[in-house]
Structure 1
Amino acid sequence: MNTSINKHELKFGMISVFLTGLGLTIVSPVLHFLVKFYTSNPSSQATAVTLLTSIYALSVFLVAPVLGALSDRYGRRPVLIISLFGSALGYFIFGLGGALWILFIGRIIEGLTGGEISAIFAYFADITPSGARTKYFGWISAVVGVGTALGPTIGGALATFGNSVPMYAGAAITLLNAIYGYFFMSESLEKSKRSSRISARHLNPFIQLSNVFSFKSVRWLLIAGFLIWIPNGSLQAIFSQFSIDTFAWQPVLIGLTFSIIGVLDIFSQAFIMPRFLKFLPDEKIAHLGMISEMIGFIFIAVSAFTAFYPVFIIGMIFFGVGDSIFGSSFNGMLSKSVSASEQGHILGGSQSIQSLARFIGPIIGG
């Protein structure tokens, strides 16, 4: 087990998750405005936006456990770098547009390489001591939160120069991250700790998913996460359309409000989680996170009937805090449950389950 952390590895990892968060959210405020050129009415626009969200999640579902298994066998570095190059290509194609089907192709390519987050979590599991893993996973969430907070704001601002500009910015950011990793990322998984072989069964996402549920110690944890991620995916998919239809908001304001989630990630990991970890186990923290999310959904539902945006913002605050503390405690419990050679497997499987929920949720919301 690691007793110390290489500062260069930690620095690279934090930069990677920051740029991943920024690249993912920079496009969120303009999705509706890109789609409206290829649809005829608000209903079909909402359906197209949520399907674009769902197809991304479905693609991640299919590939995340595969990438996790590949990283267990061949190391984190090649899987992560190749995935980032693919994500950059997906953003670029999405920005080019020209037809609705081209948007879907770009989103699918981005999703098929979007399972790199499982390799990132496995990378951090490699370089951090087990006892401090929940804390570091919490800081990963906070750093992603910084990127998430800046992404929608920058995306909304860049949209003033054209709705495709945030997509090109996302491509550039992800490409720079891949280049940085190619030159500076060291391999974190020693050859002696890698899986001895990989078979066709490891590349079948449905078999991998069933294997993940064979870990009895985390089976119910994964089910709880699945049930939480369904409404979360629904909310994030319809956020822009809901804001436009209910409050008549424009991209900049949508981006600023969406940034609340990222800001609360930072706040939660800087002030709430350190205090919780002193007195509460991961399980109790996860329970508190779920309760906070439920309260948030109640406020958001009320705002839909009242069209009173302060109620919506209060709901987003409760949701953001709950989502942050649930996510870090969830990943901490999950990582501690398996050995070093299974980190990619279990975290990739978790990402796959999350993506399946985020495939179902947007369809329901749309």
Structure 2
Amino acid sequence: MNTKRILWVLVFIAIINSMGFGIIIPLLYPYGKKFGVTDHTIGLLTAAYSIAQFFATPVLGSLSDRFGRKPLLVFSLIGTCASFIMFGLANSIIMLFAARILDGLTGGNISVAQAMVSDISSPKERAKNFGIIGSAFGFGFVIGPAIGGLLSKFGLKVPFYFAAGIAILGVLLTLFFLKETNKNKTGKSPFKKNSFSFVSLYTVLKMPVVGTAIFTGFLLTMAQFTMLIGFQTFSVDELKLNPTQIGLFYGGFGLSGILMQMMVPAVKKVISSQAIILLISTLFCLGMMILAGFATGIILFAVSIGIYGLFNGLRNPMLNAIIADRNEGNEKGEVMGVNQSYASIGQTLGPITAGLITAISIHSIFFLASFYILIALLFSIRLITKEKQS
């Protein structure tokens, strides 16, 4: 098996997949307004994707354990393509919600890609390879909104059809250039009763190291998406930035995380323990988020958010490597799916709790995110203990 070729094909697929998702981010609200979407229902429209993904990703991961990664990745990309076409053809708010739910239900791209990386990587290379894939997804998310904004000049429907087109490109790449990586597929579910059970969402958390890592990731994801609400409201209401400036600001935040993910091999040479790297990065994230809460001007805010983005970039490569290292059996896809499910629910709960606490002040959003990071810090300390015990 040509590991490097598979990895770089996955990188390209990750870029076009996340770019397609990023393209529609700045368009959801202005496009949806034509069908009655308001500033209140846009949150529900955004959450519909994450909630559907919460239930779907472990099922898709389990199916990839049984039947192989490649067919499930193709299925996920086709579902993504269909959802973008539905957006372009939409004539009601119901169709918009149906499109988001379809994309969430077939949105197993990330967990299946992570399982493929786990399949082809040795324990020594896992953190580096997860960092590469994470950088690819991050790069797509950064450039996607910019492309969506440019294409929208030709009509609000154009970006959706363009996103559908690059999803089809991902399907073709997967079919013709990507080899199956799951050599242990059995046609049977690795769990009892030979079928996936949502009880796994709970039982996986009881796994000493894996469960702690997944819950830590859930907390850090919830903190990040809480922060993003504060980032948007603070940038507009306090800093008075225009959409272009906000886009550049957000792009800088995304790029800082990508740069750190590219430095994972160098970081691993200095600190071999992935759990300790996670602990240090979480500590920096906590400090910077508290600092952002006290910021009143753009300089302190930009510095704190920039450094937060830098160390937040280490989160997923370390957590994914820890989970994969403790999950060498035939259930990699399902466990990665469960991990993505908790990330999805974190993406939903973060903005909801941030919206509730804005009644106090904009700054309180950053302190709420700090609270989530503090709990994650305690679990990351526990993770080091669990790793030593195992």
Normalising by structure 2, what TM-score?
0.82
Q: CA deviation at 1:55?
A: 1.2
Asked if 1:207 is matched to 2:199, the reply is yes
- Counterpart in 2 of 1:56? 49
> Does structure 2 conserve the Cα–Cα contact (< 8 Å) formed by 1:126 and 1:340?
no
Structure 2 residue corresponding to 1:328, chosen from 317, 322, 330: 317
- In the other structure, the counterpart of 2:380 is none
Q: 1:173-192 to 2 correspondence within 5 Å?
A: 173-190=166-183
Query: What residue in structure 1 maps to residue 267 of structure 2?
Result: 276
The residue that corresponds to 1:33 in the other structure is 30
1-structure distance, mates of 2:276, 2:308: 17
- Checking the alignment, whether the CA contact within 8 Å between 1:261 and 1:320 is kept in structure 2 is yes
Q: d(CA) in 1 for partners of 2:179 and 2:304? A: 42
**For residues 201 and 49 of structure 1, do their structure 2 counterparts lie closer, same or farther at Cα, with a shift above 3 Å needed?**
farther
- Please point out which of 203, 222, 225 is paired with 1:233: 225
Matched with 1:19 is: 16
| Counterpart check, 1:220 vs 2:208 | no
| C-alpha contact 1:299 1:315 (8 A) present in aligned 2 | yes
> Could you list the per-position Cα deviations for residues 100-153 of structure 1 after superposition, in whole angstroms to 9, with x for gaps in the alignment?
322211111111111221110011111121221111111111222222221122
CA deviation vs aligned residue, 1:50-108 (integer Å, no higher than 9, x gap): 22221111111000100110000000000000110101111222233433322211111
Q: CA deviation at 1:365?
A: 2.6
Q: Is contact 1:260-1:316 (8 Å) kept? A: no
Q: Match for 1:277: what amino acid?
A: K
CA shift, 1:243, in A, is 4.1
Aligned mate of 1:72, from 55, 65, 78: 65
Residues 185/5 of structure 1: CA separation in 2 closer, same or farther (3 Å cut): closer
Q: How high is the sequence identity, in percent, across the aligned residues?
A: 30
Aligned to 1:293: 285
Contact persistence 2:67–2:187 (CA under 8 A): no
SS of equivalent to 1:197? coil
Asked if residue 145 in structure 1 is aligned to residue 134 in structure 2, the reply is no
Q: CA deviation at 1:252?
A: 3.7
CA separation in 1, counterparts of 2:159 and 2:231? 18
Aligned pairs for 1:93-104 (under 5 A) are 93-104=86-97
CA distance in 1, matches of 2:234, 2:160: 22
- Give the deviation of 1:195 after TM superposition: 4.1
Deviation, 1:319, is 2.7
SS in 1 for 2:181: coil
1:155 partnered with 2:152? no
* 2:352 corresponds to 1:352: no
Paired residue for 1:318?
307
Distance 1:100 1:237, change over 3 A: farther
Q: Are 1:253 and 2:245 an aligned pair?
A: yes
Match of 2:4 in 1: 7
User: Which residues of structure 1 form unaligned runs of 5+?
Assistant: none
Deviation larger for 151-160 or 65-74: 151-160
Deviation at 1:10, TM superposition (A): 2.0
SS in 1 for 2:331: helix
What is the CA-CA distance between 1:339 and the residue it aligns to?
A: 1.2
* Gap regions ≥5 residues in structure 2: 356-390
- In the TM superposition, residue 7 of structure 1 has moved relative to its aligned partner by 3.2
What are the Cα deviations for residues 139-176 of structure 1, in whole angstroms up to 9, with x where unaligned? 11122222222112222222333333333322222121
CA distance in 2, matches of 1:97, 1:240: 27
Letter of the 2:49 partner, please give it. Y
Code of the residue aligned with 1:120 in structure 2: it is A
Matching residue within 104, 110, 120 for 1:111? 104
The farther-off stretch of 258-267 and 114-123 is 258-267
CA 1:235–1:92: 2 relative to 1, 3 Å? farther
- One-letter amino acid of the structure 2 residue matched with residue 17 of structure 1: A
Q: Secondary structure at the match of 2:313?
A: helix
Equivalent AA in structure 2 for residue 359 of structure 1: T
Aligned residues of 1:212 and 1:345 also touching (Cα < 8 A): no
91-100 or 324-333, larger mean C-alpha shift = 91-100
Q: TM-score, normalised by structure 1?
A: 0.87
